[in-house]
Amino acid sequence: MALEDKNISYRIYVVAIFIFVMAVGIAVKLTNIQWVDGDYYRKLAKERTVRNFVIPANKGNIYSADGSLLATSIPNYEIRFDAKAPTVAVFEQNVGALADSLSTVLGKSGSFYQNELRKARANNNRYYLISRNLSYTDYIKIKNFPMFKLGAYKGGIIVEQKTVREHPIGKIAERTIGYERTSANGESDGKGIEWAYRKYLNGKDGKILKQKIAKGQWKPIRDINEIDPQDGYDVISTIDVYIQDIAHHALLKQLQDYEADHGCVVVMETETGQVKAISNLGRASDGTYYETTNYAVAESHEPGSTFKLVDLMAILEDKVADTSTVYNTFNGEIRYSGKAVRDSHHGGYGKISLARGFELSSNTVMVQSVYDNYKDRPSKFVNHVNSWGFNKKLHMDFEGEGRPHIPQPTDKHWSNISLQWMAFGYGVSVTPMQTLTFYNAVANNGIMVKPQFISEIKEWNKTILKVEKEVINPRVCSPETIKKLKAVLENVVKKGTAAKLYSKDFSMAGKTGTAQVNYGKRDGTKMYYASSFVGYFPADHPKYSCIVVVHKPSTANGDFYGAGVAGPVFKRIAQKIFTDVPSTNEIKNLNKKIVKQEKNYDSYYAKLQKTKKGVPNVKGMPGMDAIALLENLGYHVKTVGIGKVKSQSTLEGQELLKNETITLQLL
């Protein structure tokens, strides 16, 4: 019995010791939590009940030069259904009416939605998709439908909102307007105006502290750390929607007619460099065209004959030849180091002047003129090309600007035919925007300006940043050279390679170009043509310059030249801008005298001269003439009635002080 009691006592001690150890452990843990890890757990508790929330800033809009909205942010809604949230009674009472209501907005039948809602209920689906990409109007309608109007916890509606960027004018200039996006790895990137000017458009997000309350909802806590969001600024582009629409559709039609691979067109205001229209269209696999790459800015390629203006400017500026200098075309072919340079016209043009060779785009003439005068000093010619900016980027704000290439005599790849090939636009690589900038300098009387896509940054009606005209080169050549270049460029359209474009009603000037792309490649890439036309209009007082480039036009009809493929786009744009809708914002000064009025005024003035002192007699004069006459003498005039002067308050010859009032009775 004593042994049994001893065993019981032993077990009691063991339990007591165990309980004591547990108590000590609990005490140590509590002490640890309170004092050692207290800060950590207090912080964790605060994070789970109090949290900083980001208040997104409203992104600024992008506008055209004429005030049209090009890009804006709008809310986009996604509606889902928590099928377990409503009670059985609420669900059964409202499911039919909800399904019928959904069918009126979303298009499918009421029975379809009722079956889907019941299926979601049976499967305990707590995140069933009703619809996405809803407008605010549709969201408000659906939010007030039966069952959903009971809210998230009783009606099961789940609303997710996000902001999307929309282009109200559609796909026109979409690539230039651009975008900003977040890639799969969380990094931001983008293109066009949206990306280049994101620091102005995006604004600054705010933050607010919120405390968690019942059922997962958060209540704002106002404190000194709260930061209000700063909305983004609006960006005013230089794009003119009317001109943009003309350019886009003119290019699209030609691409479709020639089944071309891709093309671009740019219209730029001559004096300021502001880009009024830019369209870049590429062909999809289904034959449709859409904005893919900004070819005008990004695509650097051999320009072909449009580069010949560089030759002519250098030759005239150095005075090594003149427009009247005669060259032999040698039946349309000359050779250098065994390589042939041929004219597009079989048999050549005989002996013609340099100006005529340019107008007819004769390769043999232009190559001879460059080679004969610069073969012993090629660096002099290339230095001209460099000074006009062809060897470096324009450094525009857009990402992905194409890299130009101008061979230099010091390069290891410079050969004994490099100079000759440069003369007719081969072996060099420039972007369409660079070529346009050069031609625009000629139109702008030698002043080269940088292309601009933005005119100002605004916060409502307050201007934050005004983008001024940027002059790249104040004088690319002498006025004498400019005058001669303008004459031959106008003759290209009047009687040269672009004669088909000539119109007696409207003047244009420019240069055609046809380049073989991928020639001589051994990697299996097929050779094709790039057709171009660049110039300005009107020819006598240039307002706009324009370039059109079409890559890989179909050769099925035999016409793949710049005049036939790219030229009509240029002409259509020019005619639409200045012929179909003439400008009405200028008031003509008609210095035409009205004989009767002049005679009357002369007779009145003669009366005044006879009256050396005092007020003249204005009886019988038209009221307006009398007022003008008296006010010119320094008197104040008050009239009663309309018509001619019947009487005057101050008699003829009476003296009055200046600024005194004379009353005229009119009848």
Closest C-alpha among 300, 282, 553 to residue 425 = 300
Confidence of residue 665 (pLDDT cuts 50, 70, 90): confident
Instruction: Assign 431 to helix, strand or coil.
Output: coil
DSSP E strand stretches across 30-134: 50-55, 62-63, 69-81, 128-134
Closest C-alpha among 255, 264, 306, 308 to residue 283 = 255
Residue 226 pLDDT > 80, yes or no?
A: no
Query: pLDDT per residue over 519-542, tens digit each?
Result: 555 455 577 889 999 999 999 999
Residue 585 pLDDT > 50, yes or no?
A: no
Closest C-alpha among 268, 256, 237, 226 to residue 169 = 237
3-state secondary structure 301-322: ECCHHHHHHHHHHHHHHHCCCC
User: What's the pLDDT score for residue 471?
Assistant: 97
Half-sphere exposure of 479 (CA within 13 A, CB side): 0
Confidence of residue 580 (pLDDT cuts 50, 70, 90): low
* Least-confidence region, from 14-18, 326-330, 352-356: 14-18
Confidence of residue 160 (pLDDT cuts 50, 70, 90): confident
User: What's the pLDDT score for residue 508?
Assistant: 96
- State both tokens at 429: 């690589």
Q: How far apart are CA 50 and CA 494, in angstroms?
A: 77
| Residues sharing a CB contact under 8 Å with residue 498, sequence separation 6 or more, in sequence order | 492, 510, 511, 512, 533, 562, 563, 567
- State both tokens at 593: 């005298």
- State both tokens at 434: 């660079």
Average pLDDT over residues 465-469: 94
The residue ranking higher by pLDDT, 558 or 247, is 247
* Least-confidence region, from 43-47, 311-315, 653-657: 43-47
Average pLDDT over residues 241-263: 94
Q: How far apart are CA 397 and CA 197, in angstroms?
A: 8
Neighbouring CB atoms inside 10 A of 72's CB total: 16
* Least-confidence region, from 53-62, 67-76, 574-583: 574-583
CA torsion sign, 432 to 438 to 443 to 447? positive
Q: How far apart are CA 619 and CA 596, in angstroms?
A: 18
3-state secondary structure 241-252: HHHHHHHHHHHH
Residue 613 pLDDT > 70, yes or no?
A: no
- The type of residue at 605 is Y
Confidence of residue 650 (pLDDT cuts 50, 70, 90): confident
Q: Give yes or no for a contact between 157 and 126, defined as CB atoms under 8 angstroms apart.
A: no
Closest C-alpha among 573, 560, 503, 504 to residue 534 = 573
- State both tokens at 235: 């960006």
Closest C-alpha among 310, 303, 293, 207 to residue 514 = 303
Confidence of residue 639 (pLDDT cuts 50, 70, 90): confident
Query: pLDDT per residue over 400-410, tens digit each?
Result: 899 999 999 99
Q: Give yes or no for a contact between 488 and 324, defined as CB atoms under 8 angstroms apart.
A: no
| Residues sharing a CB contact under 8 Å with residue 319, sequence separation 6 or more, in sequence order | none
Residue 641 pLDDT > 80, yes or no?
A: no
Confidence of residue 355 (pLDDT cuts 50, 70, 90): very high
Query: pLDDT per residue over 539-552, tens digit each?
Result: 999 999 999 999 99
* Least-confidence region, from 181-185, 201-205, 467-471: 181-185
Is 0.85 surpassed by the pTM of this model? no
Closest C-alpha among 455, 395, 436 to residue 70 = 455
pLDDT averaged over the chain?
86
Query: ω into residue 616 within 30 of 0, thus cis?
Result: no
Q: What percent of the chain has pLDDT over 90?
A: 58
Instruction: Assign 624 to helix, strand or coil.
Output: helix
Residue 125 pLDDT > 50, yes or no?
A: yes
Strand ranges across the sheet with 218-221: 50-55, 206-212, 218-221
Q: Give yes or no for a contact between 648 and 663, defined as CB atoms under 8 angstroms apart.
A: yes
Q: How far apart are CA 429 and CA 598, in angstroms?
A: 65
The residue ranking higher by pLDDT, 351 or 56, is 351
Confidence of residue 45 (pLDDT cuts 50, 70, 90): low
**Is beta strand 289-290 parallel, antiparallel or unpaired with respect to 333-336?**
unpaired
User: What's the pLDDT score for residue 441?
Assistant: 98
Tell me which range, 67-76, 185-194, 497-506, is most confidently predicted by mean pLDDT.
Answer: 497-506
Confidence of residue 382 (pLDDT cuts 50, 70, 90): very high
- State both tokens at 162: 């996000």
User: What's the pLDDT score for residue 213?
Assistant: 66
Residue 597 pLDDT > 60, yes or no?
A: no
User: What's the pLDDT score for residue 601?
Assistant: 47
Residue 106 pLDDT > 60, yes or no?
A: yes
Q: Buried b / exposed e across 138-177, counting CB within 10 Å, b at 16+?
A: ebebbeebbbbeeeeeebbbbeeeeeebebebeebbbbbb
CA torsion sign, 459 to 464 to 469 to 472? negative
